[in-house]
Structure 1
Amino acid sequence: MKKTLFTLALLAGLMGAAQAQNVSLGIKAGPSYSGFVGAQATNYESIFGFHAGIFANIGLTDMFAFQPEIIYSQKGAKVSSIDVTTRLNYVDIPLSFHVNADGLFFEAGPQLGILVAAQDKAGSVSVDRKPLYNTLDFGYLAGLGYQRKTGPGIGLRYNGGFTNVQKSSTAGSVTVQNNIRNSAFQLYLTYSFGGR
């Protein structure tokens, strides 16, 4: 009960701050189309997933805004020749900078992903593979869309990874690091509220 009251008080405080400043809060969700890129990613094919989360759009000027987000995001790929799908689930923290023109925006910025689950699935059998993958995924984003301070919006974003998703492995005196990075397109709908 205390946690619920605290959450409601926090949301009310954020809404008050959003109305007082050139800030809007919002929710977003949509499908993802992800795969792996890199020298050792040649046998992988892309898969569909979803992403959803919250954001705060902070107007810096009439044309520029900063938008931090917290997004749950499914990524991964599959090897169709052996029917194995790798699903990586992240909590992504994008820090995007928007250039606005009457609702139309272009965005770019860095992104940090925190791995929360990793599974390989073959048929109906799933195996936990999280120990094989790096916990942090550093990357970038670029995209465009239409979003007002209040109301619905739509966008398309590309997420690329700078870091390899798999941990290095050592056999004797030889260490192997596969060059495999995340790559994802995200189509999403947004709803913003509280801005002016």
Structure 2
Amino acid sequence: MPVYFNPSFMKKISLTLALLAGLTGAARAQRSDVSLGLKAGASYSAFTGKQAYNPEYIFGFHIGAFANIGLSDLFAFQPEILYSQKGSNPNLVDFKTRLNYVDLPLAFHVNANGLFFEAGPQVGLLLAAQDKAGNVSVDRKNRYNTFDLGYLAGLGYQRKTGPGIGLRYNGGFTNLEKPSTIGSVTVQNNVRNGVFQLYLTYSFNGR
């Protein structure tokens, strides 16, 4: 039995194979421009807002991981997951409020040969909150909102592979404390997080 080839069908097959080859090449190129990394550093935080009562900064730390996704030679997107200590000292001797979060920063980078400037939103999930006076700690988690919506801005030096360094500020959009009701009056204190972060990074699996 003779076999007949449909030129139109063969053309469709060729176009399909060419499209698959193009998508495969694009996927490989995209993967090669993604690097994973670890970061850790010191935090310097205080409460901000009208009802922050003249706060003083306290030290803490943050640690976590990130994925740097190159969008072009100039721009990159870097989602992160961090364990972060925040808090404040309300200008009292040997007293501080400590808040522990899992933060999810979504940083957009503008790159220039390793030097970067960054900005973006951030969501925090409160894990624990304590007031500490001397050696006595009191659980205050019920006083604070579980989610903290904020922003980040910073700069640093980071390649697709190897070590890096950065300085970032985290500010809060939402109030930390839950509203309280006294009789028929509801009071919402204007108190937000403000954190400086100095950190080191190490990137790997990049091109």
TM-score normalised according to structure 1 size? 0.89
- Label 1:82 to 1:177 Cα distance change in 2 as closer, same or farther (>3 A): farther
1:117 maps to what in 2?
128
Q: Which of 95, 101, 106 is equivalent to 1:84?
A: 95
Q: Tell whether 2:59 aligns with 1:48.
A: yes
Aligned residues: 180
Cα RMSD (Å) of the superposition?
Answer: 1.4
Q: Tell whether 2:149 aligns with 1:138.
A: yes
Q: Tell whether 2:140 aligns with 1:129.
A: yes
Q: 2:88, 2:96 within 8 Å by CA — same for their partners in 1? A: yes
Distance in 2, matches of 1:79 and 1:47, equals 10
2:107 maps to what in 1?
96
TM-superposed deviation, 1:19:
8.8
TM-superposed deviation, 1:18:
9.9
Q: Which of 187, 194, 200 is equivalent to 1:189?
A: 200
TM-score normalised according to structure 2 size? 0.84
Distance in 1, matches of 2:29 and 2:169, equals 28
Q: Tell whether 2:158 aligns with 1:147.
A: yes
Q: Name whichever structure is richer in strand by fraction.
A: 1
1:3 maps to what in 2?
none
Q: Which runs of 5+ in 2 are unaligned?
A: 1-27
- CA offsets per residue over residues 122-147 of structure 1, 9 Å max, x none? 00000100000000000000000000
Larger deviation, residues 185-194 vs 18-27: 18-27
Structure 1 counterpart of 2:37, one-letter code: G
Q: Which has the larger radius of gyration?
A: 2
Q: Tell whether 2:146 aligns with 1:162.
A: no
Q: 2:53, 2:90 within 8 Å by CA — same for their partners in 1? A: no
Distance in 2, matches of 1:18 and 1:94, equals 25
Distance in 1, matches of 2:141 and 2:203, equals 34
Percent identity (aligned): 76
1:5 maps to what in 2?
none
